[in-house]
Amino acid sequence: MNHWQYEYLWGSPSLTWLMAAGVIAVLTASFAVIWRQLWPITAGTVVMALVRLAGFMLIMLLLLQPSVIRVETSEIAPHTAILLDTSGSMGVVDKDHDKTRLQLAKSALDASKLIQVLGEKSKLSVFEFSSGLSKIKTESIGRIEKATGTSTSLGLPISQVRDTFKGDELAGVVIFSDGRDNTGIDPLTAAKQLKAPIFTVGFGRKKEKEEKVKEQDLAIVAVAHDKRLVVGHKTDVTVSVSSKGFAARSVPVELVLDGQVLATSVVALSPDRPERQVTMTLKAQAPGQFVYVVRVPPDPAEGNKANNEKPVPVFVTDPVARVLYVEARPRWEFKFVSRVLSAYKNVEHTSVVRMGPDRSIIQGSKPAAAARIAPMPPAQLQQLKAVIIGDVPKSFFTPRQIATIAALVEQGSAVMLLGGQDSFGPDGFAGTPLAPMMPAQLLGRASYTERRFGVELTAEGKAHPAFQNVEHDWSKAPDLISLVGVGELKPGATVLMRTSDNQQQPVVIVHRYGRGKVVMVLTDCTWRWKLGMAEGGTNVDLQTIFWRQLISWMMPEQEAEKEKQSVQLIADKLQYELNEQVKLTISALDAEGSPAPRAKVICHIYAPDGKVIEQAASYGKMAGGGEGQAEGFTAAFTTYTSGKYKVVATATADGIDLGRDELSFVVGDTSVEMNETDPNRELLEKIAKASRGQYCKGNYYEPANAGQIARDIVIKTKKNTWQKTEEVWNEWWVFIAIVALACTEWITRRLMQLE
């Protein structure tokens, strides 16, 4: 819809119209002056008259400055939401039925055509939920085959819907559920706060008392164990097992990791003593964060098999530093680097020279351990603190071995890549998972050159922990005779040593990657420092010093105290309940190994539903306070959904990265969902009433019952009207018209031979 309005150029209508009258008078006078020239009437005189008239109209347009106002109206539809319960209890097949509650809910949703009807009338969003809300596409509902949620919270998804549509018009929410609610916030409070009607559709059938009496169930009731262990140490795992509805029997109990049974025991249960404890021994085999499982094999007569197992989260540390050094052939570097490794008392090293497909030379401080590590199975690689890769092609490793080594660096280990024609050549590690973590770009082509050059520590190298205590003069070291080239340095990389000639090419480059360290040594002839000491005029064994300093810096627990983990993250537990507060403690040390109270510490919390929460830590006294209480960084957050959480803490000070640490923990009991599976239709009805909605009793035989909801939800569209003013006179065509009229008059005058 359009209408016109006028803008007056001179500020007042009278002045504008006066000017318009003046223009008319001038045009009239001009016609009177040229009238005799235009007589008699011809085609040319008509053109002249029309040109003058058109010019008059354009001048009036510019004086009056008219504009048109466009009024546009649109209708805005409100939002609606459908919530589908996918918790474990929705997987129950009730008596006299051959479909699960989830399957029946999907059938009711499909038969009611709610998605189609609400989608046409409103902006429809579909979610699935158990302990938290997850948005799904309507076409993916059919692909939801199993109800796998380990707990049910009706209140949390309702509150999340409120937050999702905050500020928008929400016409109604439809919930398909059995009404089980075993964790999270109060659903009735959440329903009242939603400020939108909730329409609930209930599924499931309550068991009769006789059925419950006859129920048979074996369950893991509780597990007690040490949460933190040292590799090789043992701990007792005490398991409480219960029996219901079975006669006296011996029940086997298993301790499992990744499907492998590590320990077994047996507990005798009877109707007179339905619950007893059994103790098994857990021996930590490797460092890392593990989730063991204790379980009792399910009996075919059991209706609830979800409570037959419980997770056992354990964090395993390893005080022993294990190092692997590999080469493809014997060379001087291998001899001398192996000697340096052998000199460490607290290092278990394994050196492997692969002479051929079936022939290898294996050396190590512990022959039995070296024999296990030499084939490089991933389980053994994961125990390493450092890997030194000599002049070998990428084919020396399998893709899985390379991926495992790369993951080690992320987790806190170190990798050193030594210069050579294979390791830095066309068949080197460019394009592998190791390439992104190198401190400089790998060229992926031949870059090995032979020339003589001296070396020197850079200013950064002299201050770096690897060489800051070394006072020897590297200018007296014998010249090296080989060097490999690399591409650009990565951000955060540090050149510790370079050539002392005009080219100043890097010889040693280091940086931190993830929680680990990476070193590139771009030469393969440091042996000259050992064999050619006389040539340099020094008796100092610079070659041994060089390798010992670099390897010591690589190791997390060696001579350099300043290189101990600078950021440490600790949680008060390894397992929490839903909506329980998690208290985190973080310690941060600067480059000198001193506390860094002014550091910026950020915790990133990776939740089971895929969300990432950023939490800043604050510095102060630890929990408990009091005189002499230790100080550090603390942070806290509240769990909101069940599953495994991961927390990563990073610390920076004055733009310098101090390091990072991470941990994982479990929220919720995976067996709580199936402890009671009877539907709670009364709760669904209360939720509907609390929100001024309605409760619809789902009928197994007439699932279209839910279709009534589409008629009960009041969907009102809002009209949104706005105006847009467009100036008619201030357009490009006005200028073109003026020029065209002037040209037309000039041409006409020329043709009529007028002045």
Query: What's the rounded mean pLDDT across residues 60-74?
Result: 70
Question: Are 257 and 212 contacting, i.e. CB atoms less than 8 angstroms apart?
Answer: no
Question: Are 293 and 312 contacting, i.e. CB atoms less than 8 angstroms apart?
Answer: yes
Alpha helices in 663-716 (DSSP H): 681-690, 709-712
Query: What's the rounded mean pLDDT across residues 126-139?
Result: 86
How far is the C-alpha of 650 from the C-alpha of 584, rounded, in Å? 13
**CA 344 from chain center: how many Å?**
40
Between 665 and 554, where is the model more confident?
A: 554
pLDDT of residue 429: 92
For the chain, the average pLDDT equals 81
Phi, psi of 146 (to 5 degrees): -125, 150
241 pLDDT band (50/70/90 cuts)?
A: very high
How far is the C-alpha of 508 from the C-alpha of 260, rounded, in Å? 44
**CA 567 from chain center: how many Å?**
21
pLDDT of residue 81: 94
Nearest Cα to Cα of residue 296 among 252, 246, 255, 266: 252
520 pLDDT band (50/70/90 cuts)?
A: very high
Between 323 and 208, where is the model more confident?
A: 323
pLDDT of residue 626: 39
pLDDT of residue 695: 59
Nearest Cα to Cα of residue 640 among 686, 580, 718: 580
User: Residue holding tokens 């009731």?
Assistant: 221
- State pLDDT tens for residues 715-731: 888 777 777 777 767 77
Q: What are the C-alpha distances in Å from 214 to residues 94, 246, 573?
A: 15, 9, 38
- State pLDDT tens for residues 302-334: 877 778 888 888 877 666 778 999 998 888 888
CA angle 554, 388, 505 (to 5 degrees): 80
| pLDDT above 60: residue 192 | yes
Beta strands in 210-306 (DSSP E): 217-224, 228-230, 234-244, 249-257, 260-269, 275-283, 288-295
SS (H, E, C) 607-670: CCCCCEEEEECEEEECCCCCCCCCEEEEEEEECCCCEEEEEEEEEEECCEEEEEEEEEEEECCC
Which two structure tokens, joined as six digits, stand for 641?
């959904």
How far is the C-alpha of 352 from the C-alpha of 362, rounded, in Å? 5
Torsion angle defined by CA atoms of residues 329, 330, 334 and 336, in that order, rounded to the nearest 10 degrees: -170
- State pLDDT tens for residues 263-273: 999 999 998 89
698 pLDDT band (50/70/90 cuts)?
A: very low
pLDDT of residue 616: 93
Q: What are the C-alpha distances in Å from 319 to residues 4, 281, 346, 349?
A: 85, 21, 9, 14
Q: What are the C-alpha distances in Å from 741 to residues 16, 51, 53, 604, 734?
A: 24, 6, 10, 71, 11
Phi, psi of 585 (to 5 degrees): -120, 130
pLDDT of residue 80: 94
pLDDT of residue 235: 84
pLDDT of residue 38: 59
Residues 6+ apart with CB under 8 A from 571: 582, 583, 584, 585, 647, 663, 665
Percent of the chain surpassing pLDDT 90? 22
Query: What's the rounded mean pLDDT across residues 469-492?
Result: 85
How far is the C-alpha of 727 from the C-alpha of 743, rounded, in Å? 26
pTM, entire model: 0.47
- State pLDDT tens for residues 522-581: 999 988 887 766 565 667 788 888 888 898 888 764 333 333 457 878 776 667 777 788
| pLDDT above 60: residue 5 | no
Nearest Cα to Cα of residue 154 among 536, 681, 637, 561: 681
How far is the C-alpha of 178 from the C-alpha of 174, rounded, in Å? 13
| pLDDT above 80: residue 357 | no
| pLDDT above 60: residue 8 | no
624 pLDDT band (50/70/90 cuts)?
A: very low
Neighbours of 54 (CB within 10 A): 16
| pLDDT above 50: residue 700 | no
Greatest mean pLDDT range, 45-59, 209-223, 491-505, 606-620: 491-505
pLDDT of residue 10: 54
| pLDDT above 60: residue 6 | no
**CA 152 from chain center: how many Å?**
25
Query: What's the rounded mean pLDDT across residues 622-645?
Result: 68
Q: What is the DSSP string of 136-179?
A: E-GGGGGG-----BSS--SHHHHHHHHHHTTTS-EEEEEEEE--
Phi, psi of 113 (to 5 degrees): 55, 30
pLDDT of residue 627: 40
| pLDDT above 70: residue 699 | no
Nearest Cα to Cα of residue 130 among 65, 70, 184, 205: 184
Least confident of 59-73, 80-94, 262-276: 59-73
Residue type, 613: I
Residues 6+ apart with CB under 8 A from 254: 261, 263, 264, 294, 295, 296, 297
pLDDT of residue 35: 62
Least confident of 85-99, 596-610, 618-632: 618-632
Query: What's the rounded mean pLDDT across residues 442-463?
Result: 89
Between 748 and 387, where is the model more confident?
A: 387
How far is the C-alpha of 295 from the C-alpha of 220, rounded, in Å? 7
